[in-house]
Structure 1
Amino acid sequence: MISPYRLGLIFVTASAIAWSLAGLFTQIIPLDSWTILSWRGIFGAIGLAVVILITERGKHWKEIFRIGKPGWLFVIVSGICMVFFINALKETTVAHVAVIYATIPFCAATLAWLVMGEQPEIRAIVASLAALAGVVIMVGLGTEGTLFGDLLAFGMTLGMAVLMIIVRRHPDIAVMPATCLSALFSSVICWPFGDALAVSNQNLLLIALFGLMVSAVGVALFALGAKHLPPIETALIGSLDAPLAPLWIWIAFGEIPGSSTLIGGSIVFGAVMLHIIFSASKSKPAPILS
């Protein structure tokens, strides 16, 4: 069997890859952020509901009405993060959003220390500092993006750090139903501001893929993996989004990243991968399945 720690590494890494596709979908879909969010939340909720039915056989649905204050806090914060995220991708560059999100290890580590008194390992701190160096290089002295978009991206990053702490401090939360509710919550609050009923079938299909691949798959893997990792390690692995998000834009649109993005992204990617390798090698060997 795979150890819970290694399973957490796999799930959180896969969730980072899924989330890195958000910028690509946002650029491809020619609609305003409110309309995208209206449908994205619905499709994301549907995808998460299917995941629950398959993996949990629906046994957690009865807990949805008694998730408690931590669970409802998770619902609200997660829903707001979705709104901030998509609007940030529309207001500033994908690279800026990805770079700002890469600072989440420091947000998560600070919150974990303040709320839980959890001391991060030296190895994780060093890797985080290396990731920060990559972020600084990526940002450079460029004039891309907007202040408003960057602030939205930072708000999303802080919110995600809060979610990590909530899940870590209250592991008994019915995370999947709560995440499903948060997707619906984001759809409800965005519906009045968009033009959801005027979406073409082609764009609706793209939004469906967006909601299922990024929201459902990404959030599900993150929620499952975050339970088995300290917040700073969860956040650090999540910073893989920084180098990957601009990569998809380059592949799809031929937008060649600048040298600072390539160098900084490589540093972030290298720091995360080395941390994963060293962490996995130091964990106890897992029994081999026969």
Structure 2
Amino acid sequence: MTEARSQHRLGIALVVAAAIAWSTAPFFTRLLPYDSWTILFWRGLFGGGLIVAIMLQGRAGLRDLTRIGKSGWLVASLSTSAMIAFIPSLQLTSVSNVAIIIATGPFVTAALAWVWLQEVPHARTMVASVVALCGVAVIVGNARIGSDILGIALACFTTLAIAAMTVMVRRHKDTSMVAAAALSNFLGSIVSIPFAGSIAGIPGADILILAMFGFFQVALGLTLFFLGSRLLPSGQAALISTLETPLMPFWIWVGFGEVPTLRVLAGGALVMGAVIADIAGDIRAQRPSK
């Protein structure tokens, strides 16, 4: 029982760290004057390269790379599909629409886990997910579902792909998915080649930024999420990952001095409060009774 509690808390810490890493995406994107597909190509190349380099340091990592299996390919394909759909969804509809649709992820993930794994979502996590969704709505503000149906459909597909990926990782929790993280990065780079406008001729300083983007935001974030989500109920892992949304403006404030608006601060407080309350309630529930 003590070991299970320890693993559960480790899972929480890993997914929180993944959300922090993912939240740096706007910071790096702001530094790069290139189209999204060019950034996706280089980001995936550096991210996947780092994961492979780390895995090759040990025999177990090399074995995982050569024996990724059907589940690993499926997880990698879902991850890549989510990344690819996310970029055009932002181009075809408003960021507000995309953010709110993706914020429904904990509910979609919990529903899939319920059907697929018979994993009944905890009422506390569902209530916290509702509060977090309200917080995201406050942050983006004025979100309206307009006539841009394709962009909205792609955002819905992104949400479904991420949810299915999370449940798959949980279902195959005894299988290493780090190789799948590397594969998904490389697949993203390959798919982006026909659409990228300026892959070649990028200055050295920007290559360094792209490398940091791939290493920290993608490689570290995706690997931590895969490792952590194996140890948590799927709905809770998805809920914790919503910390990414309120942390995004924080990095823009740190890097560019743009002070978040009162609406962003209020919405961020709701999201962070919901996640912290769920984690605190979870820890209390796992304490052994005296």
TM-score by length of 1: 0.87
Describe the superposition over 1:33-92 as per-residue Cα deviations: whole angstroms up to 9, x where unpaired. Answer: 1111111111001221233245xx141433434433222111111112222344556667
C-alpha displacement at 1:275, in angstroms?
A: 1.3
Distance of 2:227 and 2:170 partners within structure 1: 11
AA paired with 1:45? Answer: G
Root mean square deviation of aligned Cα: 2.7
Residue 184, structure 1, aligned to residue 186, structure 2: yes
C-alpha displacement at 1:19, in angstroms?
A: 0.2
Tell me what 1:8 maps to. Answer: 11
AA paired with 2:188? Answer: S
C-alpha displacement at 1:257, in angstroms?
A: 3.7
Tell me what 2:119 maps to. Answer: 118
Tell me what 2:163 maps to. Answer: 161
Distance of 2:61 and 2:242 partners within structure 1: 30
Counting aligned pairs with the same residue, the percent is 41
Cα distance change, pair 200–145 in 1 and its aligned pair in 2 (3 A): farther
AA paired with 2:190? Answer: V
Distance of 1:281 and 1:172 partners within structure 2: 27
Residue 50, structure 1, aligned to residue 53, structure 2: yes
Structure 1 stretch 99-108 or stretch 261-270: which is displaced more? 99-108
Distance of 1:96 and 1:145 partners within structure 2: 9
Structure 1 residue matching 2:60: 3-state secondary structure? coil
Q: Report if aligned partners of 2:97, 2:143 keep a CA contact under 8 Å in 1.
A: no
Structure 2 residue matching 1:196: 3-state secondary structure? coil
Structure 1 residue matching 2:275: 3-state secondary structure? helix
Tell me what 1:136 maps to. Answer: 137
Describe the superposition over 1:163-203 as per-residue Cα deviations: whole angstroms up to 9, x where unpaired. Answer: 11111112233301111111111111112321211222111
Structure 2 residue matching 1:118: 3-state secondary structure? coil
Cα distance change, pair 117–163 in 1 and its aligned pair in 2 (3 A): same
C-alpha displacement at 1:4, in angstroms?
A: 0.4
Cα distance change, pair 88–187 in 1 and its aligned pair in 2 (3 A): same
Q: Report if aligned partners of 1:79, 1:183 keep a CA contact under 8 Å in 2.
A: yes
Cα distance change, pair 33–145 in 1 and its aligned pair in 2 (3 A): farther
| Structural mapping, 1:198-237, within 5 Å | 198-237=201-240
Structure 2 residue matching 1:232: 3-state secondary structure? helix
AA paired with 1:213? Answer: F
AA paired with 2:19? Answer: A
Tell me what 1:67 maps to. Answer: 68
| Structural mapping, 1:240-259, within 5 Å | 240-259=243-262
C-alpha displacement at 1:93, in angstroms?
A: 6.9
Cα distance change, pair 67–214 in 1 and its aligned pair in 2 (3 A): same
C-alpha displacement at 1:142, in angstroms?
A: 5.1
